Copies of this chain bind each other. A is one copy, B any other.
Amino acid sequence: MQNKVKSASKATLLRLPRYLRYLKEQQSNGVVNVSSTMVAEGLNLNAVQVRKDLALVSSVAGKPKLGFVVSELIEDINSFLGYDNTTDAVIVGVGGLGSALLGYGGFKNYGLNIVMAFDSNSALIGKKINSVTVYNADEITEEVQKSNVKIGIVCVPKAAAQDVAEKLISGGVRAIWNFAPTHLNLPETVAVKNEDMAASLAILSKRLEQIL
């Protein structure tokens, strides 16, 4: 009975942000209580699945007949996902996608705070984008080390991605969010999430094929 820290499956982790959005929507409509049935119907999921997911993250048991308190649930999911305490991150590559991510203010809501940017283009170095300063990509390792940042977002072209990731890791980064269209080969001790647009598109176009 050591392991009191509940661990969510990847599938559950993918659903939690959806619950959060749904609950916030309900809250803004003045709804105070929700049942797992309601959530399941609202999101087209199975009610038992929802109940299991919520049981995992909820600090308070749901009450028969009443269900869960929306505000409590929101707080619990926020805390479970770590959205309530911000983590600093750096971004490497301030081209189209990189600057779009920098410009997107919404990451704050997910507990992500981008504190620094890097690029190899000298025209960009020293500039500020959305009040984040762009540093020279040569300085990744030392700057990351100085600021003790643990998350790196990679938005460089394919060819540079592996190198950039390694520099980030040398500086102490332990989690990499990779938007470059390539899979990175990194030590097991580093968490990597590949944002694979090709794979996404593959799924979409297969579904389209089935439909047409």
Which residues of A are interface residues toward B (Cβ below 8 A)? 8, 10, 13-14, 16-18, 20-21, 43, 81-82, 87, 95-97, 99-101, 103-104, 106-107, 110-112, 150-151, 174-175, 177, 181-183, 189-193, 195-212
Q: Name the one of B95, B191, B200, B210 contacting A204, with C-beta atoms under 8 angstroms.
A: B191
B99 engages A175 (CB within 8 Å): no
B189 engages A82 (CB within 8 Å): no
Q: Name the one of B43, B111, B177, B181 contacting A200, with C-beta atoms under 8 angstroms.
A: B177
Determine the chain B residues whose CB is within 8 A of the CB of A183 once the complex forms.
Answer: 18, 21, 43
This chain: copies in complex: 2
Q: Name the one of B16, B192, B202 contacting A81, with C-beta atoms under 8 angstroms.
A: B202
Determine the chain B residues whose CB is within 8 A of the CB of A17 once the complex forms.
Answer: 196, 198-199, 202
B97 engages A205 (CB within 8 Å): no
B196 engages A14 (CB within 8 Å): yes
Residue of B nearest to A20 (CB): B198
A211 engages B199 (CB within 8 Å): no
- If A14-B196, A150-B212, A202-B17 touch, whether A191 touches B174 (CB-CB below 8 Å) is no
Can you offer 22 A-B residue contacts whose CB atoms are under 8 A?
A14-B196, A16-B202, A17-B196, A21-B182, A21-B183, A43-B183, A82-B205, A82-B209, A96-B101, A97-B100, A106-B181, A107-B201, A111-B205, A174-B208, A175-B211, A177-B201, A177-B204, A190-B211, A191-B204, A191-B207, A192-B204, A195-B200
Q: Give 17 new A-B contacts, CB below 8 A, not counting A17-B202, A96-B101, A107-B201.
A: A8-B206, A10-B203, A13-B199, A13-B202, A18-B183, A18-B196, A95-B100, A96-B99, A96-B100, A96-B103, A97-B100, A111-B205, A150-B212, A151-B204, A174-B212, A175-B205, A191-B211
